[in-house]
Amino acid sequence: MQINVITLFPEMFTAITECGITSKAAEQGLIELNYFNPREFTTDKHRTVDDKPYGGGPGMLMKTQPLVAAIKAARRGLRARGTNLEAKVAYLSPQGRVLDQAGVLELASRDSMILVCGRYQGIDQRVIDQEVDEEWSVGNFVLSGGELAAMTLIDAVTRLQSGAVGDKDSVSQDSFSNGLLHWPEYTKPKVFNNQYVPSVLLSGDHKAIREWRLEQSLITTRTKRPELISKKGLDQKKH
Ligand SMILES: C[S@@+](CC[C@H](N)C(=O)[O-])C[C@H]1O[C@@H](n2cnc3c(N)ncnc32)[C@H](O)[C@@H]1O
């Protein structure tokens, strides 16, 4: 998957390109990250990327010209590499569709994407109207910039690329993949601060373990995220 990131801070992305599963996926060529820094596309000697909002008010906005030039360069780059001409431009925004596992699945099936990271008070509405196909939020709170949101999206999407996670069962058993939260897990030692590992996990009885895990998944989901149970329709089946 070709991932093109429009960002004033490409160096932040070393957090995912130098650590863990995303770093290995990049090494294996499962994901390819390219950065387009609007500052490189400025035309004035001060390389200005922000300006005051019309109408007054606090803060600054990202200027239209360098941002649009960076997006166009990302599109050209994709064309030059012969990949999907229709790569969607996604703006990371607190106003966007809130990312969940269904959204991650949708994004993971694409072969390319262009992610726009805002800074300051965000970006000019005309850039959204003219260049952006979709907006994605990582939650109902406000970050200082789109980079952490983009990295979150990239990490989640990378986990779903075939071969990215060593044991593919661990992805299919993750929370949300079947609409439920994951069951509680235990590792050595068998006793920790007087608390024992549930005996069924030591029994070697795989059928009993499967049943216990499903039951625990339901209990965990009902306790921590009851709305997921309603969404799955399991609350009706119970009565
Ligand atoms: C300080 S925020 C701007 C917030 C904007 N003034 C608003 O109230 O909608 C700067 C940038 O951070 C990113 N950002 C902030 N919160 C986000 C979230 N929850 N999800 C995705 N991106 C977010 C966006 O790219 C945004 O342009």
Least Cα distance to 156 among 21, 7, 30 occurs for: 21
Does residue 117's CB lie within 6 angstroms of at least one atom of ligand 1?
yes
Residues of the chain with pLDDT under 70: 83-85, 236-239
Tell which of 102, 127, 159 closes a domain.
Answer: 159
Residue 125, C-beta contacts closer than 8 angstroms, at least 6 positions apart: none
Tell which of 159, 184, 207 closes a domain.
Answer: 159
Residue 169 CB-half CA count within 13 A: 0
Q: Output the pLDDT for position 173.
A: 83
Does residue 7's CB lie within 6 angstroms of at least one atom of ligand 1?
no
The atom number, within ligand 1, closest to the CA of 117 reads 25
Q: Output the pLDDT for position 236.
A: 59
Does residue 94's CB lie within 6 angstroms of at least one atom of ligand 1?
yes
Residue 127 and residue 10 share a domain: yes
- Sign of the Cα torsion 21, 27, 30, 32 reads positive
Does residue 153's CB lie within 6 angstroms of at least one atom of ligand 1?
no
Q: Output the pLDDT for position 84.
A: 58
Least Cα distance to 37 among 27, 45, 29, 47 occurs for: 47
Task: Give 124 Cα–ligand 1 centroid separation in angstroms.
Answer: 13
Task: Give 140 Cα–ligand 1 centroid separation in angstroms.
Answer: 10
Task: Give 9 Cα–ligand 1 centroid separation in angstroms.
Answer: 15
Task: Give 177 Cα–ligand 1 centroid separation in angstroms.
Answer: 27
Residue 148 and residue 120 share a domain: yes
Instruction: Read off the CATH number of the domain in which 224 is found.
Output: 1.10.1270.20
Q: Judging by beta carbons within 10 Å of its beta carbon (0-12, 13-18, 19+), is residue 56 exposed, middle or buried?
A: exposed
Domain count within the chain: 2
Residue 230 and residue 137 share a domain: no
Q: Output the pLDDT for position 26.
A: 97
Q: Output the pLDDT for position 204.
A: 98
* Domain with 226 in it: 173-238
Q: pLDDT tens, 98-124?
A: 999 999 999 999 999 999 999 999 999
Instruction: Report the C-alpha gap between 50 and 73 in whole angstroms.
Output: 19
- Nearest-CA residue for ligand 1 atom 12 is 145
Percentage, residues of the chain above pLDDT 70: 97
Task: Give 100 Cα–ligand 1 centroid separation in angstroms.
Answer: 17
The atom number, within ligand 1, closest to the CA of 136 reads 21
